[in-house]
Amino acid sequence: MDVIETKIDTKSDEYRKNFEAMEALVADLKEELRKVREDRPQKAKDRLAAQGKMPIREKLALLLDRNTPYLEISPLTARGMYDGTIHGAGLVCGIGIVCGKEVLVSGNDATIKGGSTYPMTVKKTLRVQAIVMENRLPSITLVDSAGGYLPLQSEVFPDIDDGGRIFYNQAITSKMGIPQITAVMGLCTAGGAYVPAMSDETIHVKGTGAIFLGGPPLVKAATGEVVTADQLGGADLHCRESGVSDYYAEDDRHAIAIIRNIMECLPPTEKSRLAMHEPAPPLYDPREIYGIVSRELKVPYDVRELIARVVDRSEFLEFKELFAPTLVCGWAYIHGYPVGILGNNGVLFPDSALKGTQFIQICDRRKIPLLFLQNINGFIVGSEYERLGITKHGHKMVNAVATATVPKFTVIVGASYGAGNYAMCGRAYSPRFLWMYPGAEIAVMGGEQASGVLVTLRNDQLVKEGKPPLSKDEEDAIRKPLIDAARKESNAYYSTANLWDDGILDPVDTRDVLGLAISAALNAPIRDDVFGYGIFRM
């Protein structure tokens, strides 16, 4: 492979301004992540301590193997929603190492409304379960939840993507033979009782853990019986009498020790094999990405410069280098894992789509994972390009992305607009993981373009009615609300709050995060003997 020779002038004014802008965005990101980890009411902390419980992140530190990597999933879920304090939707989730095995660990944060389940908690749980099933990762669940947040019960209960789907997914996960281990460290109320009941093995903590379909207040209202939570569903009852729970734990630390013993006994996973190379760092400093990525989305830059600071030895074998230059395709290694990379250097033309389609087919045939680096305004538009078949050629690329069977990974490094989002493996196209840079945007189109379309449509309508076109003030009245809404709803924080991605990345971490994700994906077969595509319109 050839080494990418950088053309970046790190002393230029443009580089400096880009660097400072990204540095400020990353500082904001780190502050948001600090709030998620640390900002809790003192009353909630004191209550947890009085109950003899450990905070969720202390549990994780004790559970995970020391000095091993941990990849947190969607830490900023529900940011700005509800009362603004339901950090991470009250759920901490991530991929880590337990007894040498990669696992997906999730746990309720009982310092946030007692671990209550909000609509976004359900959505985050379903996302975690999708990761478990797609990547065949054992799952460990640390439960301490007061149950569904009743004022929003209609949003967590009845639909296909609401709470009941969690237990459906547990049944499917069990059918797939993926281990599920649950520790009952607090309340498991109502539907939540099915989480431990549907797990392979359940650990139950004495005194604090309780499992019941109806809690003491509901039992009293329904039957008149007065009973405590421990009497109704404590560890003694479920370990000695009902048999719902399998292991009796004295406290949280004991429960975690039991989980680790169970994990130690699990047979090792035979991971998918790739033609790996010896890992090596890039030749260029990853922090230079700060100065490469444009601070203004409309200003282009060469995606090869980004690739050079992510891949091993900055080596890249480019595919069709002289053809369709707005889409860069080629092969490289990340932490020793082979990847096929598609990165945008402009809008997608008909030839770009054909090039991308062929490249995806080759990678899929060779079982090489795909990495999409999105910075895309969409497909080219206009009568000339419609005559050239942009729609049918775009369809080929979208088809190939949708039906590729190898693991796919997406990083939105800039713009992600319209059908370009689809062709470059947006969330709807099931990448195993998807992340965004702090300054990235995702929308049908930018606010300026959207407002321009509406102004044009309104003026066309006025012409048909024989009326004069909009004045500047009337145009501004249309444009401003759209631009303001786009600014609010297309930014990375809005995306991550709504779980359109798996987290916002500090660009410096891109390489390491991708390495962890690829490793996790290899716990599943590259494909289950299913290979092929639908009809490509010619």
Using CA atoms, how far apart are residues 377 and 502, in angstroms rounded to an integer?
22
**What distances in angstroms separate CA 507 from CA 157, 359, 408, one per listed residue?**
38, 26, 19
**What distances in angstroms separate CA 24 from CA 17, 116, 295, 305, one per listed residue?**
11, 34, 11, 21
pLDDT of residue 532: 73
Q: List average pLDDT for each run of 10 residues in the chain, which is 538 residues long.
A: 96 98 98 97 95 97 98 98 95 98 97 94 97 98 90 86 94 97 93 92 97 89 92 96 97 98 94 95 98 95 98 98 98 98 96 96 96 94 90 94 96 95 97 98 83 88 91 89 83 97 98 98 82 73
Which amino acid, 137?
L
Tokens encoding 209: 């853990």
- Reference 304, options 321, 290, 279, 323; nearest CA is 321
Q: Where are the alpha helices (DSSP H) in 39-193?
A: 42-50, 56-63, 119-135, 164-175
pLDDT of residue 110: 95
Q: Is the dihedral of CA 54, 60, 63, 65 positive or negative?
A: negative
Per DSSP bridges, beta strands 91-98 and 71-72 are: antiparallel
- Reference 271, options 175, 365, 369, 343; nearest CA is 369
CA atoms within 13 A on the CB side of 84: 1
For the chain, state the CA radius of gyration.
25
Residue identified by tokens 């009085």 is 50
Using CA atoms, how far apart are residues 397 and 370, in angstroms rounded to an integer?
13
Instruction: Give ∠ CA 522-101-91 in degrees, rounded to 5.
Output: 90
Contacts of residue 412, defined as CB under 8 A and 6 or more positions apart, other chains included, come to 374, 375, 434, 435, 436, 437, 440, 442, 492, 501
Q: Is the dihedral of CA 492, 494, 495, 498 positive or negative?
A: positive
Which amino acid, 323?
F
pLDDT of residue 156: 86
Using CA atoms, how far apart are residues 175 and 160, in angstroms rounded to an integer?
19
Q: How far apart are the first and last CA of the chain?
A: 34
pLDDT of residue 314: 98
Contact 146, 164 (CB under 8 A): no
Tokens encoding 156: 């967590």
Residue identified by tokens 């009411």 is 41
pLDDT of residue 528: 61
